């Protein structure tokens, strides 16, 4: 009986954790990200502060600070039907931004694993 209960608990935890992942948010390696942003007319967003952005950024990135009050209004200007490529310093703020963007109706958000620190 204990084995059955333990199995049930393990299965419950496994499936409940998997359901929390949103498949519209993809976290990709530096190599994958570099390949993906190599095209034309991509939506590349740096969600760090303007100071961090001024210290260095990925070529072609637009700075929209996730912690700024204007974040949502600026993000609304993007095409929700096309992928948006985002990054921050290390990956935490970009996950916050990605979740907000999905709630706002974006179809796909691609996040650079490890952020700008991983880029350099």
Catalytic center residues: 88
Is the torsion defined by CA of 39, 30, 109, 63 positive or negative? negative
Cβ contact 92:64 at 8 Å: no
DSSP secondary structure letters along 24-67: TEEEE-HHHHHHHTTSSS-EEEE-S-HHHHHT---TTPEE--TT
108 token code pair: 């796909």
How far, in Å, CA of 60 to CA of 46, rounded? 10
66 token code pair: 């996730």
């Amino acid at each position: 009986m204990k084995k059955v209960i333990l199995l049930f608990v393990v299965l419950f935890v496994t499936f409940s954790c998997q359901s929390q992942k949103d498949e519209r948010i993809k976290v990709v390696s530096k190599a994958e990200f570099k390949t993906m942003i190599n095209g034309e007319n991509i939506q590349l967003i740096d969600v760090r502060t303007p100071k961090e952005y001024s210290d260095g950024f990925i070529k072609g990135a637009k700075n929209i600070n996730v912690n700024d009050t204007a974040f949502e209004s600026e993000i609304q200007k993007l095409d929700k039907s096309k992928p948006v490529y985002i990054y921050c310093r290390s990956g935490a703020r970009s996950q916050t931004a990605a979740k907000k963007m999905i709630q706002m109706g974006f179809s796909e958000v691609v996040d650079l694993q490890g952020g700008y620190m991983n880029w350099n």
